[in-house]
């Protein structure tokens, strides 16, 4: 029986391993993590992350061929294949601070693997890493006179949060990079066979190690760039009475452009986009490629502009003062169907509103716990209220920051009636029926469409 161990029971490691366990009953999958609380949560009825469909898969496989453990060494020792899915945050210190990836956890894992392994193993990079990381890893793994052989593969994960289980079950593609050596190709085939259990073989792409590593950063940079591109156009739409939704539809029907990732918004969030682009910028710079670095950096600058522009729009429309005004934030997660708030635009928006002395009420169906942890410094100015109707009571404005479907179905007449007048609604996700809201009496602003006002 093939034994897989995954180091890192996070948003990527947990769901990915659950899917492998479901699809490959003959493979034993053990997920290990240094965080004992997290491991305990995976073994309980309250999983540590919210992801539609995940509970069912974990229920089906837990104890059958899926195991969670905080005994990292044992997990490593027993495994034939080790996925490393520990976090690789942006470095906050020293050279490359604010841009480069902090690889300390990855290297610690490599050292641990070398230390405790007594048999040959395939090491799979699941975490997003700078191109050529595998080279450094191989040096660490093979340092000294270790008789054990390690073959390093790169198998970046492309799942998106909120749709992780569907993405894992029916991915557009799986990418596996390995060395062009006999042992490299053999290891690569071993991993191909696992994925081919449920994924059509033509969707399992193979590449050299460096291409696989770089493809992950490139994919995220391209996706983020599309969001920044349409957001740049949204500002121009507001200045010209063009409608960004209509522009997106018009360009998205061009098969060369395609319709996805053209939804103008308050900006992209999430643990990956900003981190990966900054990492790409750092990589370009470290190879002396200043213009490519500047090009990609602009995607992040545009995103920051969009967040700041949203708050300015709120302030200017609300008569240039929001001090003491109650503002209800609908949605704190960085996107719908997740409780994840990492790099959520809501964090910066709340900070900026608080700097204007607004009284903020945050509501979100899944992200309240994370939201509380994100803004400890604003405890005096922030309330948390799970019920959106109660959050909006007495508010001067509602701001939609996450595209939760439930916000489409709310009784906005009831919300309007309970608010201070004039009642403002700022749709940072461009997702509601703005004409209907306007007819109820709201002052309605939407990204890329501008303000509909009764106050002229
Ligand atoms: C993943 C990828 O690994 C990251 O590179 C990518 O860019 C985003 O997605 P994610 O699963 O979201 O990260 O990270 P997180 O939820 O923080 O999980 C990482 C886990 O690794 C944590 O539970 C942490 O406790 C664990 N960890 C970290 C270890 O077990 N050992 C370590 O040495 C460091
Ligand atoms: C992303 C990549 O999609 C995934 O392939 C990779 O593995 C991890 O990073 P994720 O961050 O989970 O996934 O979510 P994604 O759906 O890409 O959305 C990222 C951000 O962009 C969200 O804040 C989302 O609201 C925003 N977005 C996305 C827009 O504002 N407009 C769009 O049209 C699409």
Q: What is the pLDDT of residues 296-325, one digit of tens each?
A: 999 999 999 999 999 999 999 999 999 999
Determine the atom of ligand 2 nearest the C-alpha atom of 403.
25
Quick check: 27 and 4 in contact, CB under 8 A?
yes
Average pLDDT over residues 204-208: 97
Please say if the pLDDT value at position 164 is more than 90: yes
Nearest CA to ligand 1 atom 32: 105
Whether the per-residue pLDDT at 223 is higher than 80: the answer is yes
What is the distance in A from the centroid of ligand 2 to the CA of 97?
A: 24
Evaluate: CB of 86 within 6 angstroms of ligand 1: yes
Fold of 3-199: Rossmann fold (3.40.50)
**Closest listed ligand to the CA of 9:** 1
What is residue 451's three-state secondary structure?
Answer: strand
Instruction: Report which protein residue has its CA nearest ligand 2's atom 7.
Output: 158
DSSP characters over 346-401: HHHHHHHHHHTT-EEEEE-SS-HHHHHHH-GGGTTTEEE-S-HHHHHTT-SEEEE-
| CA neighbor of 432 nearest in space, from 417, 452, 410 | 410
User: What region, left, alpha or beta, does residue 288 occupy, with left being phi > 0 and alpha being psi -120 to 50 degrees?
Assistant: left
Predicted confidence band of residue 79 (pLDDT cuts 50, 70, 90): very high
- Structure tokens, 452: 């509909």
Catalytic residue at 237?
no
Residue 456 has pLDDT above 80, yes or no: no
Ligand with an atom nearest the CA of residue 331:
2
What confidence tens digit (pLDDT) does each residue in 414-444 have?
999 999 999 999 999 999 999 999 999 999 9
Q: What is the pLDDT confidence band of residue 237, given thresholds at 50, 70 and 90?
A: very high
Point out the ligand 1 atom lying closest to the alpha carbon of residue 72: 30
Distance (Å, rounded) from C-alpha 181 to C-alpha 373?
48
Q: With beta carbons less than 8 A apart as the criterion, state whether 223 and 261 touch.
A: yes
Beta carbon of 35 within 6 Å of any ligand 1 atom? yes
Check if 270 has its Cβ closer than 6 Å to any atom of ligand 2. Answer: yes
Look up tokens 């019920």; give the residue.
Answer: 387
Cα(436) to ligand 2 centroid in Å equals 28
Alpha-carbon span 116 to 426, nearest angstrom: 55
Q: Please state, rounded to an integer, the average pLDDT across all residues of the chain.
A: 96
CATH 3.40.50.720 domain locations along the chain: 3-199, 209-456
Q: Quick one: pLDDT band at residue 131, thresholds 50, 70, 90?
A: confident
Least confident window among 124-128, 232-236, 398-402: 124-128
The residue whose CA has the least distance to atom 15 of ligand 2 is 160
6, 109, 237, 272: which one is catalytic?
272
Proximal ligand: closest to the CA of 431: 2
pLDDT of residue 129: 87
Atom of ligand 2 nearest to the CA of 345: 23
Where residue 261 falls (left for φ over 0; alpha for ψ -120 to 50; beta otherwise) is left
110 CB near ligand 1 (under 6 Å): no
Nearest 5°: the CA angle 180, 183, 186 is 90
Report residue 380's pLDDT band, with 50, 70 and 90 as the boundaries.
confident
Tell me the pTM. 0.94
The CA 234 to ligand 2 mean position distance, Å, reads 18
In angstroms, the CA 273 to CA 223 distance is: 8
Using pLDDT thresholds of 50, 70 and 90, give the confidence band for residue 144. Answer: confident
* CATH code given to domain 209-456: 3.40.50.720
Q: In this predicted model, what pLDDT tens digit does every residue of 321-364 receive, in sequence order?
A: 999 999 999 999 999 999 999 999 999 999 999 999 999 999 99
């Amino acid at each position: 029986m093939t034994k897989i161990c995954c180091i890192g029971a996070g948003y990527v490691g947990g769901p990915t391993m659950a899917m492998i366990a479901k699809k490959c009953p003959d493979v034993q999958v053990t997920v290990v993590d240094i965080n004992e609380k997290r491991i305990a949560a995976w073994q309980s009825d309250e999983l540590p992350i919210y992801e539609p469909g995940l509970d069912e898969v974990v229920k089906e496989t837990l104890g059958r061929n899926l195991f969670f453990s905080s005994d990292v060494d044992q997990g490593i020792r027993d495994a034939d294949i080790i996925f490393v899915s520990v976090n690789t945050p942006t470095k906050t210190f020293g050279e490359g601070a604010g841009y480069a990836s902090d690889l300390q956890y990855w290297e610690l894992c490599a050292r641990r693997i070398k230390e405790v392994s007594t048999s040959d193993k395939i090491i799979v990079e699941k975490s997003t890493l700078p191109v050529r990381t595998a080279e450094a890893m191989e040096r660490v793994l093979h340092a000294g006179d270790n008789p054990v052989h390690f073959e390093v593969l790169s198998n970046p994960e492309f799942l998106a949060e909120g749709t992780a289980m569907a993405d894992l079950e029916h991915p557009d593609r799986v990418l596996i990079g390995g060395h062009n050596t006999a042992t490299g190709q053999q290891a690569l085939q071993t991993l191909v066979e696992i994925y081919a259990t449920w994924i059509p073989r033509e969707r399992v792409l193979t590449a050299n190690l460096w291409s696989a590593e770089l493809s992950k950063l490139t994919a995220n940079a391209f996706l983020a760039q599309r969001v920044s591109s349409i957001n740049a156009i949204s500002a121009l739409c507001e200045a010209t009475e063009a409608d960004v939704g209509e522009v997106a539809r018009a360009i998205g029907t061009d098969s060369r452009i395609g319709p996805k990732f053209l939804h103008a918004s308050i900006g992209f969030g999430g643990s990956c986009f900003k981190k990966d682009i900054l990492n790409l910028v750092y990589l370009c710079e470290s190879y002396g490629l200043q213009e490519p670095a500047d090009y990609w950096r602009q995607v992040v600058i545009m995103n920051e502009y969009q967040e700041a522009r949203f708050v300015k729009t709120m302030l200017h429309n609300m008569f240039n003062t929001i001090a003491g005004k109650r503002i209800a934030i609908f949605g704190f997660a960085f996107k719908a169907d997740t409780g994840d708030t990492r790099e959520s635009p809501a964090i910066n928006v709340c900070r900026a509103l608080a700097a204007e002395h607004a009284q903020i009420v945050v509501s979100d169906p899944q992200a309240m716990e994370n939201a509380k942890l994100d803004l400890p410094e604003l405890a005096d100015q922030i309330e948390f209220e799970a019920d959106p109707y109660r959050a909006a009571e007495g508010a001067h404005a509602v701001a939609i920051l996450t595209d939760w479907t439930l916000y489409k179905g709310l009784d906005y007449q009831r919300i309007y009636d309970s608010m201070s007048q004039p009642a403002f609604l700022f749709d940072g996700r461009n997702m509601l029926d703005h004409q209907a809201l306007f007819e109820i009496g709201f002052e309605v602003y939407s990204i890329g469409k501008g303000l509909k006002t009764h106050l002229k």
